[in-house]
């Protein structure tokens, strides 16, 4: 039985054209071992970090709560609130079905890409934490087990004199020596003083020389002590990106990230195939359906999905599987709190081709305070063995750093 199209977006509608709720699919069998559990509520709270992190909590009638996180962005909490009626009464162990259930329910509201996928991602991460707690298994076990006990972390570095090659080299050395990282990333789309018109995305020869000088100073200073990547933030025209990548070929560049805008995958492929400099992209694509072409057509040497943005933990696993078939590593973009950072480490542990997870908050002194456990030590995350994600929100820290106007979770 299917209701009219007008009812498709009504949260109270009993059926939709492709409803994947337990009721309409006939999923009524009782489950033993304490697994017959229902979702009772979903809540969000935004924390004012170096990005406005959206924390997600999924509550159950068993008193077990799952914690997740969605990539930052306007509208995410509202979308999660919109989807809550689709989850209440469902069994949280049905992660795949619930994910597809939300995608289908929100199909008319943009669940192919963008902020709707991000909102679903935050719920999906929380479901992994919740399912792990119910089954008393770490989240990586739900993804098939682990290849590694530790996940390498690359530190996204900044300096006030971001256009000064010597200052960048100084910061690279400090992060290695004082903070213990052996993988770094610096921004390369910084002002050189030679710009004429940044809107046209064209790089003049003097601009390219300046960027190459930054790369030369950092890589020479670092030597073999660390891998160093460089981020362009989708800033350049195709020809300029090719010339920049060619100019960087003599240096030990781990990768050149997002040299061209993300929309045209043909141009991305063209740039990547033009150079020996490894090229990375992927954080601005959504779900495996979008990243598949990027990977299979040779558009990247390394793929960089953002787990709490791209579709969640299992979707990132699917992307990694596609990449593995092309012998392409996965370096997860990440600007999250300790919650999604740890979730990304679980994904990285579970796939063979995981290279590293990004850490973007080394200048934020209280980042680690948000959870009770230690997350990053000496540039690595020890993958937790505790049930679920293995991290516990420090509610005092959450309350202290909430975005203005937000309220703390109603722990019921």
- Per-residue pLDDT of 301-337, as tens digits, reads 999 999 999 999 999 999 999 999 999 999 999 999 9
Q: Which two tokens stand for residue 246?
A: 């060619």
Q: Are strands 65-70 and 330-332 parallel, antiparallel or unpaired?
A: unpaired
Q: pTM of the prediction? A: 0.93
| CA–CA gap between residue 52 and residue 228 (Å, rounded) | 27
Q: Are strands 380-382 and 150-157 parallel, antiparallel or unpaired?
A: antiparallel
Distance of CA 295 to the CA centre of its chain: 17
Are 346 and 370 in contact, with CB atoms under 8 Å apart?
no
Going by C-beta distance under 8 Å and a sequence separation of 6 or more, which residues neighbour residue 45? 54, 55, 57, 398, 402, 406, 407, 408, 409
Instruction: List every span in the chain annotated with CATH 3.30.390.10.
Output: 5-137
Are 127 and 152 in contact, with CB atoms under 8 Å apart?
no
Instruction: List every span in the chain annotated with CATH 3.20.20.120.
Output: 142-386
Of 103, 119, 123, 121, the C-alpha closest to 111 is: 103
| CA–CA gap between residue 183 and residue 197 (Å, rounded) | 33
Distance of CA 262 to the CA centre of its chain: 16
Lowest mean pLDDT among 9-13, 106-110, 197-201: 9-13
Going by C-beta distance under 8 Å and a sequence separation of 6 or more, which residues neighbour residue 24? 14, 15
How many CB atoms are closer than 10 A to CB 137?
Answer: 15
Per-residue model confidence (pLDDT) at position 109:
85
Of 197, 210, 9, the C-alpha closest to 102 is: 9
Name the CATH code of domain 5-137 (choices 1.10.10.10, 2.60.120.10, 3.30.390.10, 1.10.357.10): 3.30.390.10
Per-residue model confidence (pLDDT) at position 24:
63
Of 130, 137, 69, the C-alpha closest to 386 is: 137
Question: What's the distance, Cα to Cα, between the start and end of the chain in Å?
Answer: 35
The residue assigned the tokens 């509550």 is 59
- Rg, the chain, Cα only: 22
Q: Where are the beta strands (DSSP E) in 106-225?
A: 150-157, 183-187
Of 154, 149, 219, the C-alpha closest to 180 is: 154
3-state secondary structure of 110: coil
Residues comprising the chain, all counted: 412
Angle at 226 between CA 221 and CA 227, to 5 degrees: 105
Handedness of CA 155, 160, 162, 165 (dihedral sign): negative
Confidence of residue 111 (pLDDT cuts 50, 70, 90): confident
Going by C-beta distance under 8 Å and a sequence separation of 6 or more, which residues neighbour residue 118? 70, 71, 73, 76, 308, 309
Per-residue model confidence (pLDDT) at position 23:
64
Per-residue model confidence (pLDDT) at position 410:
85
| CA–CA gap between residue 43 and residue 393 (Å, rounded) | 14
Per-residue model confidence (pLDDT) at position 3:
35
How many H-runs (helices) and E-runs (strands) does the chain carry?
14, 13
Are 274 and 245 in contact, with CB atoms under 8 Å apart?
yes
| CA–CA gap between residue 317 and residue 324 (Å, rounded) | 10
Mean pLDDT for 362-369 is: 96
**CATH architecture of the domain formed by 142-386:** Alpha-Beta Barrel (3.20)
What value does the mean pLDDT of the chain take? 93
Per-residue model confidence (pLDDT) at position 26:
55
Confidence of residue 25 (pLDDT cuts 50, 70, 90): low
**Residue 138 predicted with pLDDT over 60:** yes
Handedness of CA 186, 191, 195, 200 (dihedral sign): positive
């Amino acid at each position: 039985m299917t209701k009219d199209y007008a009812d498709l977006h009504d949260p109270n509608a009993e059926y939709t054209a492709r409803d994947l709720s337990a009721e309409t699919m006939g999923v009524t069998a009782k489950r033993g071992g304490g697994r017959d559990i229902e979702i009772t509520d979903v809540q969000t709270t935004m924390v004012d970090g170096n990005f406005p992190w959206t924390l997600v909590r999924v509550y159950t009638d068993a008193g077990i709560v799952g914690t997740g996180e969605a990539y930052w962005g306007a509208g995410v909490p509202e979308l999660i609130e919109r989807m809550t009626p689709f989850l209440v009464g469902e069994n949280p162990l049905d992660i795949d079905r619930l994910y597809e259930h939300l995608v289908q329910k929100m199909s008319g509201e943009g669940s192919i890409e963008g902020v709707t996928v991000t909102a679903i991602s935050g719920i999906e991460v929380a479901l992994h934490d919740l399912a792990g707690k119910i089954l008393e298994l770490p989240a990586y076990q739900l993804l098939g087990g682990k290849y590694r006990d530790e996940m390498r972390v690359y530190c996204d570095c900044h300096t006030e004199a971001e256009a000064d090659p010597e200052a960048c080299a100084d910061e690279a050395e400090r992060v290695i020596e004082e903070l213990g990282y052996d993988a770094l990333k610096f921004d390369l789309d910084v002002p050189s003083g030679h710009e004429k018109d940044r809107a046209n995305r064209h790089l003049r020869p003097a601009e390219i020389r300046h960027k190459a000088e930054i790369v030369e100073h950092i890589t020479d200073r670092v030597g073999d002590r660390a891998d160093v990547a460089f981020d362009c933030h989708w800033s350049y025209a195709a020809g300029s990106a090719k010339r920049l990548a060619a100019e960087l070929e003599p240096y030990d560049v781990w990768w050149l990230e997002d040299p061209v805008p993300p929309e045209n995958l043909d141009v991305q492929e063209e740039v990547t195939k033009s150079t020996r400099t490894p090229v990375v992209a992927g954080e601005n694509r959504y779900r495996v359906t979008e990243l598949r072409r990027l990977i299979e057509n040779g558009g990247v040497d390394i793929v960089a999905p953002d787990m709490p943005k791209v579709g969640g933990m299992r979707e990132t696993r699917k992307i990694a599987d596609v990449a593995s078939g092309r012998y392409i590593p996965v370096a997860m973009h990440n600007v999250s709190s300790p919650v999604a950072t740890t979730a990304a480490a679980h994904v990285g542990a579970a796939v063979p081709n995981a290279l590293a997870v990004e850490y973007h908050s080394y200048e934020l002194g209280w980042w680690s305070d948000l959870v009770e456990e230690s997350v990053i030590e000496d540039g690595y995350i020890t993958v937790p063995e505790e049930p679920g994600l293995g991290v516990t929100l420090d509610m005092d820290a959450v309350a202290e750093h909430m975005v203005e106007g937000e309220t703390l979770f109603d722990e019921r």
